[in-house]
């Protein structure tokens, strides 16, 4: 009888731990998705604008050199 109670307690503990770990994984996945969305829709745009600005600076430098 004690063995059965012990097995039930261990089983319930394992179930609770498994559900907790699953919840943590889902929450982490959500954070990764938010970070990826920010990277794709904000940071890439900023990097593209920085590249365009760099090109514009080089063009102005070339123009100033030519005059």
pLDDT in tens, 29-40: 989 999 898 888
Number of domains observed in the structure of the chain: 1
Domain range for 34: 1-67
Task: Give the Cα separation of 37 and 58 in Å (integer).
Answer: 31
pLDDT for 66 equals 87
pLDDT for 38 equals 87
Task: Give the Cα separation of 21 and 4 in Å (integer).
Answer: 26
The whole-model pTM stands at 0.52
The structure tokens listed for 56 are 């514009």
Q: Is 11 helix (H, G, I), strand (E, B) or coil?
A: helix
């Amino acid at each position: 009888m004690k063995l059965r109670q012990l097995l039930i307690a261990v089983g319930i503990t394992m179930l609770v731990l498994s559900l907790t770990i699953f919840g943590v994984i889902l929450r982490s996945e959500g954070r990764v998705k938010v970070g990826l969305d920010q990277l794709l829709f904000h940071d890439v745009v900023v990097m593209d604008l920085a590249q365009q600005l760099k090109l514009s600076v080089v063009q102005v430098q070339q123009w100033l050199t030519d005059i």
